[in-house]
A and B are shown apart, each in its own frame.
Chain A
Amino acid sequence: MKVGVVTFPGTLDDVDAARAVRLGGHEAVSLWHGDHDLKGVDAVVLPGGFSYGDYLRCGAISRFAPVMTEVVAAAHGGLPVLGICNGFQILCESHLLPGALIRNDHMKFVCRDQRLRIENNRTPWTAAYAEGAEITIALKNGEGGYVADEATLDMLEAEGRVVARYLDLNPNGSLRDIAGVTNERGNVVGLMPHPEHAVEELTGSGTDGLGFFTSFLEQAASA
């Protein structure tokens, strides 16, 4: 499978994301923010960082980058899209995912190994995990507080669209401990913590994040 990894001005984690894609058994294809086509990829990762310097709001300007027009259209057509951290913020700003991410409630940047529970393993990005699996991956954000109105939160819970939830402590004030959500169709996933930093024993907190990059293959194999 070919997995596109988008680089915006200010993206930080595109190289790690591309490496995780390769370790997951796929071909990583670099996509540039100014591109008008997706180069025939089978899925797209929007990596973390500070695209456009987080000016205005995190992800607000990236949303209007030429490549996002293609990503939004393809996502509506069912293309698997994973947004990590800043990528999650971009997906919310693009209205591909409900809600928004605001400044951490404690006002400090947080960087820690974070335990999560995978609550929905029916997406192309989480199929490798058992439902309820508990994993530990890096979390690093300044504006990671997930917010949405009560009706939206209730809808997400009722439809099983909370993909991952924080365990042990709530690191950023996210409502209902939400670390990641998916869209109605289940092909678009946004996640605040960073699975691409947990794919090798040599660095990071272990390999708990690798499943996000092998799930796609498993789901395709079982289809």
Chain B
Amino acid sequence: MPVVVVDVMPKPEILDPQGKAVQGALPRLGFSGVSDVRQGKRFELTVDEVTDEVLAQVAQMAETLLSNPVIENFTVRVETEVEAAVAGAGA
């Protein structure tokens, strides 16, 4: 079954305390060179089929429930088979 991915990220101008906390932890673990971390959410929606209508509906879901447009941006995309295979190999 195809999967539609919705990525939700805090808007650039919105403070992201969680991202800042992660960024602060990285040097303590010996990782250097990361100048910023932003933390968001990823939703995987399994759908019967991918059509323009379905994608439009997912965008509507993202706008009304999955994200808060006041503080977050979102993107909608269809997960490709290659991406799914890589994710599977990593698991």
Contacts and interface: CB of A to CB of B under 8 A. Distances in A.
Contacts of A99: 70
Given A60-B65, A64-B65, A145 B71 contact: no
Interface string A135-165: 0000000000101110000000000000000
A76 interface: no
Interface residues of A, number: 21
B50 interface: no
Contact of A102 (B21, B65, B66, B71): B71
Contact of B14 (A92, A98, A107, A147): A147
B21 A107 contact: yes
A57 interface: yes
Contacts of B14: 102, 147
Given A57-B68, A103-B17, A173-B15, 11 more contacts: A56-B66, A93-B68, A100-B71, A102-B10, A102-B14, A102-B15, A102-B17, A105-B15, A107-B17, A145-B15, A147-B70
Interface string B37-81: 000000000000000000000000000011010110000000000
Interface string A98-118: 111011111100000000000
Report which residue of A102, A147, A149, A173 has the largest number of chain B beta carbons within 10 angstroms of its beta carbon.
A102
B36 interface: no
Contacts of A149: 13
A105 B65 contact: no
B53 to A, nearest CB: 22
Contacts of B13: 149
A64 B17 CA distance: 27
B11 to A, nearest CB: 9
Contacts of B68: 57, 60, 93, 100
